[in-house]
A and B are shown apart, each in its own frame.
Chain A
Amino acid sequence: MVNLKINGQAVSVPEGYTVLEAAREVGIDIPTLCYLKDYSETGSCRMCVVEIVGARALQAACVYPVAEGIEVLTHSPKVKAARKSTLELLLSNHDRKCLTCIRNKHCELQTLSEELGVDDIRYEGEIIKREIDDLSPSIVRDNNKCVLCRRCVNVCKNIQTVGAIDATERGFKTQIACAFNKSLADSNCVNCGQCIAACPVGALKEKDNTAAVFEEIANPDKYVIVQTAPAVRAALGEEFGFEMGTPVTGKMAAALRRLGFDKVFDTDTGADITIMEEGTEFIERLNNGGKLPLITSCSPGWIKFCEHNFPDFLDNLSSCKSPHQMFGAVIKSYYAEKHNIDPKKICVVSVMPCVAKKFESSREEMEFNKLRDVDIVISTRELARMIKQAGIKFEKLPDEKFDAPFEEASGAGVIFGATGGVMEAALRTVADVLEGKSIDQIDYHAVRGTEGIKEATLNIAGKDVRIAVAHGLGNARKLLESIRSGEKNYEFIEIMACPGGCVTGGGQPICSAKEYMDHDVKAERAKALYTEDANSPVRKSHENPDIKLLYSEYFEKPGSHKAHELLHTTYVKRKRF
């Protein structure tokens, strides 16, 4: 333990703590801007400066390690004046249209202004007018709002190892941009949206599709069906004041019904279909000498990353579409036929924890017979905005169920939203099929948790199956490079683009830097899903009665010709940059 004094108070913290962390332990809140725990720790914005007694200059608390005997002043007059000047200078070149900003009331810059007592704009100067990049189907960048903190750059380059954006030009002209100021749409951006989740202000946001959804709902000729991904229920409540990790499945279904959707379905059913197809694909490749390792294909950010950076692994990717695309295709074929609805009149809306799904649904492969699988994708945040705009008191809603005939998905479908969940769901089905009976094991703890790369060797029906799970594209890169070099080998791999999996996807409610310091966001949201799984009457995809019916009435069996037409896809090689 290291002993130090903060504002005269004796503090004892473990070695390796920063002054920022030590202060937080004893209830002192040091303001930050460029700091985002685990994602961005560069000490560049100077908002967190503190006085270290005896040191020559003010020091950045977010990167200053505690040392035995130091005395720290976190709110001395000198410190407060320095922070306030820094903030006022930032505000002098900021597009201060807070009322119409996507982050109004959820902006870290706005919070700082309040907490640091800025009551006047003292420095009026030139404000550079920047062009807004809204060409990407997933992400909008508005550099007029950017404070150059570089949280997005650090996440994109260091955590995701994508590096689509960086600081360009210098001095007053500095801006965060793609190479040659190209649009994100023309870059190696994979649309994961982790930059949005990292942004403290409104410089990055999702492409908003809520107006299109309201329009479709209002159209009497359209049959509008909504489906919601597993991870949405684990975080949507945060937008309405619920504790982090509170599942709000029932209230979400009720809210969607009140928004006017004709049918409210659960993408977990799509996840169960995915397991049927992907599990079958894995067993076939395993038994017939097919290309291994098989790598999951649910995460569209990961797919585009693979297409840019690991084209030599495209044959390893499962040919399965992602769950919401599969489910969209099933809705416009099986469901439409069975209920005598003209599929051309159906509009499928997916609510996703993800902004890459917007790009995915626009890929040309994602259709059959000229019918798009999914028509509109909105993020969890956009759904929350729609609920607020419709005047629905979310917290007062009763718990309701999804609509028949897909009322209840399996617990396996629910855990898709957490890292390791797809692998666990697949193993539950693959083990039963290979053993030829329903085995007792349901939980696979080796693939749970938030460690970057998880590995295990499982003995299934006398065969050793080596598996790995990676989340966050930096971890995915590490894993694939170890396979490329021959150092490692596996039969089955799950990869999710976002650190933590979908629960912390780029379309989820945004947590502030302070919330990241006080919560293990990935684990708390994942817990909501594992609890729902544990409470599910059916916990294996192939035991879901709706799925059994779907295959007996329509697809015949997983991997059938019809299943391939509707549920599988192809990939393209893309340039590295």
Chain B
Amino acid sequence: MEEKKVVPFNGTKEQEKQLLEVIESHKGQDGAAIPVLHKAQDIYGYLPIEVQTMIAEGLNIPLAEIYGIVTFYTQFSLNPKGRYQIGVCLGTACYVKGSGDILEKIKSILGIDVGECTPDGKFSLDATRCIGACGLAPVMTINDDVYGRLVVDDVEDILGKYE
């Protein structure tokens, strides 16, 4: 079975303490899973298996159910965000101008899928809705930098600028 590949977990004792407090305050409540997952994501930035397991054990909910919730809602992330967060606009204008190909190129260079982060924690990749720069379509962003009127061959050089 192809398991989800993830960045190695390096949560701190302090984060764990905060999460256990959150779990404790929701114990026994109906519908506790979603608010606890939200707070856990605030604490850790994402929801790796270690965090989901703590929540499952703490709230007495099967891990498979917790994972089902996390993968159902797009606001939950299984992966941390990288130091450089790439967003490729898949809004209508960018899409018709070929941003799908840009996205595929990035995926193949970095070896990750949308929603994932490279194992070294450098790049994470998201597909975004319209970011309002349609005149520059197709557009991608890396942190606060915006790159417009892209062609597939630009991608490698752009990624190479980030150390």
A and B interact physically? yes
The answer to whether B57 and A170 touch across the interface, beta carbons within 8 angstroms, is: no
The answer to whether B52 and A182 touch across the interface, beta carbons within 8 angstroms, is: no
Closest Cβ–Cβ distance, residue A443 to chain B (whole Å): 40
Determine which residue in A131, A177, A179, A183 has the highest number of CB atoms from chain B within 10 A of its CB, and name it: A179
* Residues of chain B lying within 8 A (CB to CB) of residue A163: 61-65
Closest Cβ–Cβ distance, residue A199 to chain B (whole Å): 17
Give CA–CA (A168, B67) in the complex, Å: 7
Question: Is A531 close to B, CB under 8 A?
Answer: no
* Residues of chain B lying within 8 A (CB to CB) of residue A167: 68, 72
Residues 1-39 of chain B, each 1 if its beta carbon lies under 8 Å from chain A, else 0: 111100000000000000000000000000000000000
The answer to whether B3 and A577 touch across the interface, beta carbons within 8 angstroms, is: no
Query: Known: A169-B72, A170-B72, A577-B57. Is A177-B64 also a contact (CB below 8 A)?
Result: yes
Give CA–CA (A166, B62) in the complex, Å: 9
Closest Cβ–Cβ distance, residue A460 to chain B (whole Å): 38
Question: Is A172 close to B, CB under 8 A?
Answer: no
A401-459 residues at the B interface, CB under 8 angstroms: none
The answer to whether B72 and A180 touch across the interface, beta carbons within 8 angstroms, is: no
The answer to whether B1 and A577 touch across the interface, beta carbons within 8 angstroms, is: no
B42-71 residues at the A interface, CB under 8 angstroms: 49, 52-53, 56-57, 61-68, 71
The answer to whether B64 and A576 touch across the interface, beta carbons within 8 angstroms, is: no
Q: What number of B residues sit within 8 Å (CB to CB) of A?
A: 19
A138-178 residues at the B interface, CB under 8 angstroms: 157, 162-170, 177-178
* Residues of chain A lying within 8 A (CB to CB) of residue B53: 577
Residues 107-139 of chain A, each 1 if its beta carbon lies under 8 Å from chain B, else 0: 000000000000000000000000101010000
* Residues of chain B lying within 8 A (CB to CB) of residue A178: 64
Question: Is A570 close to B, CB under 8 A?
Answer: no
Instruction: Select A166's contact among B1, B4, B57, B68, beta carbons within 8 Å.
Output: B68
Give CA–CA (A157, B1) in the complex, Å: 22
Q: Is the interface of B mostly helix, strand, loop or mixed?
A: helix
The answer to whether A165 and B1 touch across the interface, beta carbons within 8 angstroms, is: no
Question: Is A181 close to B, CB under 8 A?
Answer: yes
Closest Cβ–Cβ distance, residue A151 to chain B (whole Å): 15
Residues 532-558 of chain A, each 1 if its beta carbon lies under 8 Å from chain B, else 0: 000000000000000000000000000
Give CA–CA (A544, B63) in the complex, Å: 47
Q: Which chain A residue lies CB-closest to B53?
A: A577
Query: Known: A131-B1, A133-B1, A179-B49. Is A157-B65 also a contact (CB below 8 A)?
Result: yes
Give CA–CA (A184, B72) in the complex, Å: 21
Determine which residue in B2, B3, B64 has the highest number of CB atoms from chain A within 10 A of its CB, and name it: B64
Give CA–CA (A133, B71) in the complex, Å: 20
Give CA–CA (A183, B2) in the complex, Å: 9
Query: Known: A179-B52, A180-B49. Is A131-B2 also a contact (CB below 8 A)?
Result: yes
Instruction: Select B3's contact among A166, A170, A181, beta carbons within 8 Å.
Output: A181
The answer to whether B62 and A577 touch across the interface, beta carbons within 8 angstroms, is: yes
Give CA–CA (A180, B64) in the complex, Å: 8
The answer to whether B68 and A577 touch across the interface, beta carbons within 8 angstroms, is: no
The answer to whether B72 and A577 touch across the interface, beta carbons within 8 angstroms, is: no
Give CA–CA (A131, B2) in the complex, Å: 8
Query: Known: A168-B71, A169-B72. Is A182-B1 also a contact (CB below 8 A)?
Result: yes
The answer to whether A166 and B64 touch across the interface, beta carbons within 8 angstroms, is: yes
Closest Cβ–Cβ distance, residue A483 to chain B (whole Å): 18
The answer to whether B62 and A157 touch across the interface, beta carbons within 8 angstroms, is: yes
The answer to whether B57 and A179 touch across the interface, beta carbons within 8 angstroms, is: no
Q: Which chain A residue lies CB-closest to B72?
A: A170
Closest Cβ–Cβ distance, residue A177 to chain B (whole Å): 7
Give CA–CA (A212, B57) in the complex, Å: 40
* Residues of chain B lying within 8 A (CB to CB) of residue A576: 56-57
The answer to whether A165 and B57 touch across the interface, beta carbons within 8 angstroms, is: no
B65-113 residues at the A interface, CB under 8 angstroms: 65-68, 71-72
The answer to whether A180 and B2 touch across the interface, beta carbons within 8 angstroms, is: no
Closest Cβ–Cβ distance, residue B36 to chain A (whole Å): 16
* Residues of chain A lying within 8 A (CB to CB) of residue B49: 179-180
Query: Known: A131-B2, A182-B3. Is A577-B56 also a contact (CB below 8 A)?
Result: yes
Give CA–CA (A492, B60) in the complex, Å: 28
A19-46 residues at the B interface, CB under 8 angstroms: none
* Residues of chain A lying within 8 A (CB to CB) of residue B72: 167-170
* Residues of chain A lying within 8 A (CB to CB) of residue B67: 166, 168, 179-180
Residues 117-136 of chain B, each 1 if its beta carbon lies under 8 Å from chain A, else 0: 00000000000000000000
The answer to whether A164 and B64 touch across the interface, beta carbons within 8 angstroms, is: yes
Give CA–CA (A163, B59) in the complex, Å: 14
A550-577 residues at the B interface, CB under 8 angstroms: 576-577
* Residues of chain A lying within 8 A (CB to CB) of residue B62: 157, 162-164, 166, 179, 188, 577
* Residues of chain A lying within 8 A (CB to CB) of residue B64: 163-166, 168, 177-179, 187
* Residues of chain A lying within 8 A (CB to CB) of residue B68: 166-168
The answer to whether A170 and B71 touch across the interface, beta carbons within 8 angstroms, is: yes
Q: Which chain B residue lies CB-closest to A174?
A: B72
Q: Which chain A residue lies CB-closest to B57?
A: A576
Give CA–CA (A168, B53) in the complex, Å: 16
Determine which residue in A133, A167, A170, A180 has the highest number of CB atoms from chain B within 10 A of its CB, and name it: A180
* Residues of chain B lying within 8 A (CB to CB) of residue A133: 1
Q: Which chain B residue lies CB-closest to A162?
A: B62
Residues 177-200 of chain A, each 1 if its beta carbon lies under 8 Å from chain B, else 0: 111111100011000000000000
Q: Which chain B residue lies CB-closest to A577?
A: B63
Q: Which chain B residue lies CB-closest to A170?
A: B72
* Residues of chain B lying within 8 A (CB to CB) of residue A177: 64
Give CA–CA (A164, B62) in the complex, Å: 7
Give CA–CA (A164, B67) in the complex, Å: 11
Give CA–CA (A133, B68) in the complex, Å: 18
Give CA–CA (A576, B55) in the complex, Å: 12
The answer to whether B65 and A181 touch across the interface, beta carbons within 8 angstroms, is: no
Determine which residue in B62, B65, B67, B72 has the highest number of CB atoms from chain A within 10 A of its CB, and name it: B62
Closest Cβ–Cβ distance, residue B116 to chain A (whole Å): 13
* Residues of chain A lying within 8 A (CB to CB) of residue B71: 168-170
B residues near A (Cβ < 8 Å) are 1-4, 49, 52-53, 56-57, 61-68, 71-72
Q: What 4 A-B pairs have minimum CB-CB distances, sorted nearest first?
A: A163-B62, A179-B67, A577-B63, A166-B64
Beyond the given A177-B64, A179-B63, please list 11 additional residue pairs across the A-B interface where CB-CB is below 8 A.
Answer: A163-B64, A164-B62, A164-B64, A166-B62, A168-B68, A168-B72, A169-B72, A170-B71, A178-B64, A180-B49, A577-B63
A-B contacts, 17 of them at CB < 8 A, read A131-B2, A157-B62, A162-B62, A163-B63, A163-B65, A164-B64, A166-B67, A168-B64, A168-B72, A169-B71, A179-B64, A181-B2, A181-B3, A183-B1, A576-B57, A577-B56, A577-B63
